Amino acid sequence: MGVFAALGTALCWAIAARLFSGTGNAFSPLTMNFWKGIISIALLGIVLIVIPPAAYTTSSILWLLISGFIGIGIGDTCFFKALKSIGDSQAVLVAETLAPLFTALLAMAFIGEWITWQQWVGVAVVLLSVDMVIKARKRSTTHVFATSGYLYGVAAALCQAVGAVVSRDILGSGEVDAASAAFLRLVGGMFFVVPLIAFSKTRWLPVITQGQAVWPAFVLATLLGTTAAIYLQMFAFAYAKAAVVQTLIATSALMSLGVAWVLGEKATKATLLWSIVALMGVAILVSFGSTSMH
């Protein structure tokens, strides 16, 4: 279940990325982070009112808020900075390759969660394939080598990994449900984003040109890419190892190929070949990744 929830997260992100790109430059990175957080918090809040969760400890609440503050607040902001500095292909390459590796190392060090050698093989195959697909799809425009952009990418990966390991530790114990965890993590992210918007005097609202319908696409992208994706991600952490979940989420780069294909865009032989190799890696993780609570 955890493995399929992680793949579901990747698919949601792949579709949402296309929808978010359709909103143009109406939203600044911080404004985008703020609004997708606020909309998802409201929706998950309604879910928790309709289906009240079981009581859980103060320490669990605190750790999930910290996880959101680091993983969503700082992590997403760093990732958006990397996108602006070094472009989408390089930013995704750095963040999606390093996040699963950092997650595996932090999970071993802090929660004593080791992955088997077969799972390491699966992780390596998936990450290599994702890297090769991103390189094959790399835009012809060359970005000037901006060291700061790569550092933001590394920081985003590290923040994602910290958030993942904390989430796995709390959810793996079975004490907190996925909806509550998703809600608390998003609230934690807001503790970083809101003061930063106020401090940097960033516009709260998007800049919309006349006749441009930005909100429908943005709300739909948020429903998929934030609300549904973070719920599925939390569900995945309850049933699968942190490093396995992060690796499977990295396949969103491959799934975006599928989204492009459905929309009538052609795929090259190289990207198709590496996508097949990635599926083999996913198959290894599905076969050996059905581990539960630690």
Per-residue pLDDT of the chain (294 residues; tens, 9 = 90+): 888 999 999 999 889 888 887 776 788 878 888 999 999 999 999 999 999 888 888 999 999 999 999 999 999 889 888 887 877 777 887 888 889 999 999 999 998 888 888 888 988 998 888 888 877 766 544 555 578 888 999 999 999 999 999 999 999 888 899 999 999 999 999 999 999 999 998 888 888 776 677 888 899 999 999 999 999 999 999 999 998 999 999 888 888 888 888 888 787 888 888 888 888 888 888 777 554 444
Residue 129: partners with Cβ closer than 8 Å, 6 or more residues away = 254, 274, 275, 277, 278, 281
Q: By C-alpha distance, which of 94, 36, 38 is closest to 253? A: 94
Task: Name the token pair of 232.
Answer: 């599925």
Q: What secondary structure does DSSP assign to 65-131, as a single string? A: HHHHIIIIIIHHHHHHHHHHHH-HHHHHHHHHHHHHHHHHHHHHHHS-----HHHHHHHHHHHHHHH
Burial 164-179 (b: 16+ CB within 10 A, else e): bbbbbbbbbeeebbbb
Residue 293 falls inside a structural domain? no
Residue 271 falls inside a structural domain? yes
**Dist. CA 93–CA 91, nearest whole Å:** 5
Phi, psi torsion values for 41, nearest 5 degrees: -60, -45
Residue 10 falls inside a structural domain? yes
Residue 294 falls inside a structural domain? no
Rounded to the nearest 10°, the torsion over CA 196, 199, 204, 206 is -80
Residue 101 falls inside a structural domain? yes
Count of domains forming the chain: 1
Q: How far apart, in Å, are the Cα atoms of 117 and each of 99, 103, 132, 281?
A: 19, 16, 23, 13
Residue 203 falls inside a structural domain? yes
Q: What sign for the dihedral angle of Cα 237, 113, 100, 185?
A: positive
**Are residues 99 and 79 in contact, defined by beta-carbon separation less than 8 angstroms?**
no
First to last CA, the chain: 16
Q: How far apart, in Å, are the Cα atoms of 241 and each of 8, 108, 169, 261?
A: 16, 11, 10, 31
Q: By C-alpha distance, which of 180, 172, 175 is closest to 52? A: 180
pLDDT (0 to 100) of residue 289: 58
> Residue 75 is part of which domain span?
2-288
**Are residues 245 and 292 in contact, defined by beta-carbon separation less than 8 angstroms?**
no
Residue 183: partners with Cβ closer than 8 Å, 6 or more residues away = 41, 44, 45, 48
pLDDT (0 to 100) of residue 24: 64
**Dist. CA 7–CA 250, nearest whole Å:** 9
Q: 3-state DSSP: the chain helix, strand, coil percent, rounded to 5?
A: 80, 0, 20
Residue 17 falls inside a structural domain? yes
Task: Name the token pair of 93.
Answer: 């390459």
Q: By C-alpha distance, which of 51, 22, 25 is closest to 219? A: 22
Residue 31 falls inside a structural domain? yes
The secondary structure of residue 292, as a DSSP letter, is -
pLDDT (0 to 100) of residue 144: 56
